Amino acid sequence: MTRLIGGLLAAALVVGSVPGKVFAQGSGKTMNATGVVSAVAPASIAIKDKGQESKFVVDKDTSVLAKGATHKSLALKADGKSTMLTDFVKVGDTVTIEYHDMGSMKHAATINVRNAQPK
């Protein structure tokens, strides 16, 4: 009986913690935006699509998917350097960004580099 109550209590704690995370991400709804990178900095990215510019906040929880990114990330780590967004995304790249609207800002959850500009 004690195990059952302990198990139910643990399950309640897990389920109870989920809405807090969703609330912390704004509406919890993930949206997508695709465009050409017009500006990129370590903590932000801006893209243009059909003349409209959208800006996104980037943080340590943002994932970047790009060809060769894993290899480059491991090489930087081996050299004792940290990775930055500007290591993988350049102005002129075509990207798709999954983001959460957090009131006055848009938080980029995932940045997928679709078509990287040649170096």
HEC secondary structure over the chain: CHHHHHHHHHHHHHHHHHHHHHHHCCCCCEEEEEEEEEEEECCEEEEEECCEEEEEECCCCCEEECCCHHHHHHHHHHCCCCCCHHHCCCCCCEEEEEEEEECCEEEEEEEEEEECCCC
Cα Rg, the chain, nearest whole Å: 19
Q: According to the model, what pLDDT value does residue 2 have?
A: 41
> What homologous superfamily does CATH list for 28-115?
Copper binding periplasmic protein CusF (2.40.50.320)
Average pLDDT over residues 41-70: 94
Residue pair 45/108 in contact by the 8 Å Cβ criterion: yes
Cα separation, 47 vs 53, whole angstroms:
6
Mean pLDDT of 18-38: 67
pLDDT in tens, 63-96: 999 998 889 889 988 999 888 999 999 999 999 9
Q: In one letter, which amino acid is 59?
A: D
CA 31 from chain centre, in angstroms, equals 12
Write down the pTM of the prediction. Answer: 0.72
Q: Assess contact for 93 and 115: CB atoms under 8 A.
A: yes
Looking at residue 6, what is its pLDDT?
38
